[in-house]
């Protein structure tokens, strides 16, 4: 097995003392910006990670955790970050927030950079179903928690801490509700199918379609990667057909807003002509005039629970245990699905 790089290796290549390397890696005063940049580049080249075990033994903590997300402008992530930041502050920790834009290489760079800078642990909300960036964290026993998403790699699933929604059930509930309202031809506006949320929600929806004998058509499942504009375009294309779907299940509220805009732009009515359900229950969905029926997952609580799990790991409370929290989805009935007009038809 290849020997792991040490701080001495970096010092030798940078031609400076180990003390200077330590100051650079931990973003402390005493070294120039140029030296710090050189040290970080060498550390990245050597794939250097500070020893968490050694750091703990000498009692050094930065009291800083990090949150890695796709896009802080997305209302879901904004609410998640708020829950994390509030709970972290209560427990005496600061939070750094990094955006990846859904790029796996950028995710790796963020995690490597955060570890080099000496954060105590990381909350990751960008994991794909086969995310390779999780493996080094597990091998090095570096504290991390997956929130909202998780890796579905069967060799890793029991080695990671996570806080997620029961996404299969979420997908099933949406289609079941449409079935009870009498819909047969239902479109699924899916997220990114390489992440657990969309993968499992789609799987749950397809199970409901089979169980209830609904119209099964692969063309009615459109991957929109949780982007509102993509959902808008996909909906416009679907409703252009004469035999268009009578209901749309969007796998998050951000996309549901895009679906709503597309339906209304075609002078169709919600829910009289087309019913709509989203997922997340972000704040804007309850606004008068929007009244979006959605499946809630208590985003704020997901953030606080993930924070508590991570800090318990950092501080050694139950650090030998794997903590996995699965939250139950709940249907929030508003006007967009037509429930208030039809009641249950089945």
- Does the pLDDT of residue 346 top 60, yes or no? no
Which one of 71-80, 220-229, 311-320 scores highest in mean pLDDT? Answer: 220-229
- Does the pLDDT of residue 118 top 90, yes or no? no
Over residues 195-214, mean pLDDT: 97
pLDDT band at residue 233, thresholds of 50, 70 and 90? very high
Over residues 35-43, mean pLDDT: 89
Q: What is the pLDDT of residue 55?
A: 53
- CATH 1.10.260.40 assigned to 1-48: yes
- According to DSSP, the β-strands at 121-124 and 275-280 are unpaired
Q: What is the pLDDT of residue 47?
A: 80
Side by side, which strands form the sheet with 221-223? 221-223, 186-190, 247-250, 275-280, 293-296, 330-332
- Does the pLDDT of residue 52 top 90, yes or no? no
Q: Mean of the per-residue pLDDT values for the chain?
A: 90
3-state SS, residue 208? helix
pTM: 0.81
pLDDT band at residue 319, thresholds of 50, 70 and 90? low
How many CB atoms within 10 Å of residue 177?
Answer: 22
CA Rg value for the chain = 23
User: Positive or negative, the Cα torsion across 11, 57, 30, 27?
Assistant: positive
Distance CA 126, CA 297 (A): 17
pLDDT band at residue 1, thresholds of 50, 70 and 90? very low
For 234-275, the pLDDT digits (tens) are: 999 999 998 999 999 999 999 999 999 999 999 999 999 999
DSSP secondary structure, 154-198, as one string: TTTGGG-EEEEE-HHHHHHHHHHHHHHTT--SEEEEE--TTSHHH
Quote the percentage of the chain above a pLDDT of 90: 72
Distance CA 130, CA 198 (A): 14
Q: What is the pLDDT of residue 4?
A: 74
Closest CA to 235 of 216, 209, 215, 261: 261
Closest CA to 166 of 346, 311, 7, 330: 330
Q: What is the pLDDT of residue 327?
A: 96
Q: What is the pLDDT of residue 62?
A: 83
For 6-38, the pLDDT digits (tens) are: 888 899 999 998 888 888 887 677 788 899 889
CA dihedral 86, 98, 70, 150 (to 10 degrees): -70
Are 145 and 313 in contact, with CB atoms under 8 Å apart?
yes
Are 117 and 25 in contact, with CB atoms under 8 Å apart?
yes
CATH of 51-165+301-327, one of 3.40.50.620, 1.10.1040.10, 3.30.300.30, 3.40.50.2300: 3.40.50.2300
pLDDT band at residue 342, thresholds of 50, 70 and 90? low
Q: What is the pLDDT of residue 56?
A: 46
3-state SS, residue 278? strand
C-alpha dist (Å) from residue 71 to 46, 78, 81, 168, 258: 29, 8, 11, 24, 17
- The CATH 3.40.50.2300 portion of the chain extends over 51-165+301-327, 167-297+330-342
To which CATH superfamily is domain 167-297+330-342 assigned?
Response regulator (3.40.50.2300)
Tell me the two tokens of residue 315: 């501080």
Are 309 and 265 in contact, with CB atoms under 8 Å apart?
no
Distance CA 83, CA 21 (A): 35
Running DSSP on this structure, what letter comes out for residue 284? G
3-state SS, residue 35? helix
Q: Which residues of 227-265 are buried (b: 16+ CB within 10 A; e: fewer)?
A: bbebbbebbbebbeeeebbbbbbbbbbbbbbbbbebbee
């Amino acid at each position: 097995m290849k020997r792991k790089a040490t701080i001495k290796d970096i010092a030798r290549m940078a031609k400076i003392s180990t003390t200077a390397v330590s100051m650079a890696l931990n973003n402390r005063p005493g070294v120039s910006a140029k030296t710090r940049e050189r040290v970080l580049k060498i550390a990245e080249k050597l794939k250097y990670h500070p020893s968490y075990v050694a750091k703990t033994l000498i009692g050094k903590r930065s009291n800083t955790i990090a949150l890695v997300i796709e896009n802080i402008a997305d209302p879901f992530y904004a609410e998640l970050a708020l829950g994390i930041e509030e709970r972290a502050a209560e427990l005496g920790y600061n939070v750094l927030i990094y955006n990846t834009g859904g790029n796996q290489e950028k995710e790796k760079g963020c995690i490597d950079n955060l570890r080099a800078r000496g954060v105590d642990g990381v909350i990751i909300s960008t994991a794909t179903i086969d995310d390779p960036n999780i493996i080094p964290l597990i091998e090095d026993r570096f504290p991390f928690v997956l929130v909202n998403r998780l890796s579905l790699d069967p060799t890793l699933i029991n080695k990671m801490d996570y806080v997620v929604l029961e996404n299969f059930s979420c997908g099933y509930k949406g289609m079941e509700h449409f079935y009870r309202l009498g819909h047969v031809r239902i479109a699924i506006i899916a997220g990114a199918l390489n992440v657990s949320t969309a993968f499992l929600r789609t799987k749950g929806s397809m199970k409901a379609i089979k169980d209830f004998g609904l119209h099964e058509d692969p063309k009615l499942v459109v991957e929109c990667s949780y982007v509102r504009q993509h959902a808008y375009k996909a909906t416009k294309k679907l409703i252009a057909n004469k035999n268009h779907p009578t209901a749309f299940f969007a796998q998050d509220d951000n996309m549901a807003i895009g679906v709503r805009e597309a339906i209304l732009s075609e002078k169709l009515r919600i829910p009289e002509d087309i019913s709509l359900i989203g997922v997340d229950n972000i704040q804007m969905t309850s606004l008068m005039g929007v009244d979006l029926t959605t499946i809630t997952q208590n985003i704020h609580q997901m953030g606080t629970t993930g924070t508590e799990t991570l800090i318990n790991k950092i501080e050694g409370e139950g650090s030998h245990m794997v903590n996995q929290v699965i939250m139950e989805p709940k249907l929030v009935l508003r006007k967009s699905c037509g429930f208030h007009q039809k009641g249950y038809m089945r």
